[in-house]
Amino acid sequence: MMWGNWTIVNKFVLVGFSALSSELQALLFLLFLTIYLITLMGNVLIILVTTADSALQSPMYFFLRNLSFLEIGFNLVIVPKMLGTLIIQNTTISFFGCATQMYFFFFFGAAECCLLATMAYDRYVAICDPLRYPVIMGHKACAQLAAASWFAGFPVATVQTSWIFSFPFCGPNRVNHFFCDSPPVIALVCADTSLFELEALTATVLFILFPFLLILGSYVRILSTIFRMPSAEGKRKAFSTCSSHLLVVSLFYSTAILTYFRPRSSTSPESKKLLSLSYTVVTPMLNPIIYSLRNNEVKAALRRVIHRTLGPQKL
């Protein structure tokens, strides 16, 4: 659509993996579809098991249940469209569709960063102040912390998305990514974006770096407490309660920080796509696997749920 000397953009083209051969794209489709189904089934299973089993009603599993809901939402925002671009070459996305995808990407991403920090605080209280843990992490406090984590996604998503899509897009419309992330979309804007980029950096520090520093501080105190424990069994048990969360945090934040805190000139678009695949596709799949395989309580609860569902004669 033309307006004066400008071409007003009303849709975008997701470049994604279009540079690859059709055979390789078909293989990627099968790989990502498998990961997507495993992610959905694994996180739904975590939700069902932690809801149905009475032994998994502690704050740690309440927050884990919220994390699984976030991971499902995160995947639904990114992966279905990516699968469509791979299998039927449906690379176009409407202006509104791109804005919607970006909004919920920001929302779920910011909420997950805050929830991971909340989970680290829960482990900190459980290990460093166990006598007061039931009082500090009561039902009301847990609900408030979870609600605050979810709500944190709204302001960053609203401000970032509305600001980006208020800019004029009057030229190229090819987004060099497999979803509508802010850096490749803002590169298409034909206006001065320096103020927005300053705000985006501030938001990134607040919603990625600051929660990460809180998590880091919590685990410094946790490890210090564990190392001072007199018995080896006490150390092992204490560490086992937070090792799964620590692994999930390491996977999520290592790739997110590499993606959003590296200078643009030092990272090619293709390497950014690979990093983005890690925290948008791979990590959500690994979370339920990590929490189920490394957690004896979850494995025992899963066996109990299967036993109640199928009956002992079918096991």
Residue 304 lies in a domain: no
Instruction: Tell me how far apart the alpha carbons of residues 32 and 196 are, in angstroms, rounded to a whole number.
Output: 33
Helix (H, G, I), strand (E, B) or coil at 121: helix
Residue 297's Cβ-count burial label (10 Å; 0-12, 13-18, 19+) is middle
In a domain, 280, yes or no: yes
- Position 301 in a domain: no
Query: What total of structural domains would you count in the chain?
Result: 1
Angle (CA) 226 232 238, round 5°: 40
- What percentage of residues in the chain have a pLDDT greater than 70? 93
pLDDT tens digit sequence for 145-185: 999 999 999 999 999 999 999 998 887 889 998 999 998 99
Q: Which residue has the higher pLDDT, 269 or 42?
A: 42
pLDDT given at position 135: 92
* Residue-range definition of the domain harbouring residue 237: 11-290
Determine, yes or no, domain membership for 126: yes
- Domain assignment present for 225: yes
Helix (H) / strand (E) containing 10: none
Nearest Cα to Cα of residue 36 among 297, 284, 230: 284
What is the C-alpha separation between 242 and 306, in angstroms, rounded? 26
CATH number at residue 77: 1.20.1070.10
Domain assignment of residue 314, yes or no: no
Domain annotation covers residue 295: no
Rounded to an integer, what distance in angstroms lies between the CA atom of residue 158 and that of residue 270? 28
Cβ-contact 39, 75 below 8 angstroms:
yes
Answer yes or no: are the C-beta atoms of 115 and 151 closer than 8 Å.
Answer: no
* Tens digit of each residue's pLDDT (9 = 90 or more) over 209-263: 899 999 999 999 998 988 888 888 778 877 877 887 888 888 888 877 777 776 6
Give the residue among 103, 107, 110, 105 at the shortest CA–CA distance from 210: 110
pLDDT at 141: 95
Q: What is the pLDDT of residues 181-203, one digit of tens each?
A: 998 999 899 888 899 989 888 88
On whether residue 61 sits in a domain, the answer given is: yes
* Whole-model pTM over 0.85: yes
Residues in the chain: 315
Quote the Cα angle for 246-64-48, to 5°. 140
Give the burial class of 296: count Cβ atoms within 10 A of its Cβ; 0-12 exposed, 13-18 middle, 19 or more buried: exposed
d(CA 198, CA 200): 5
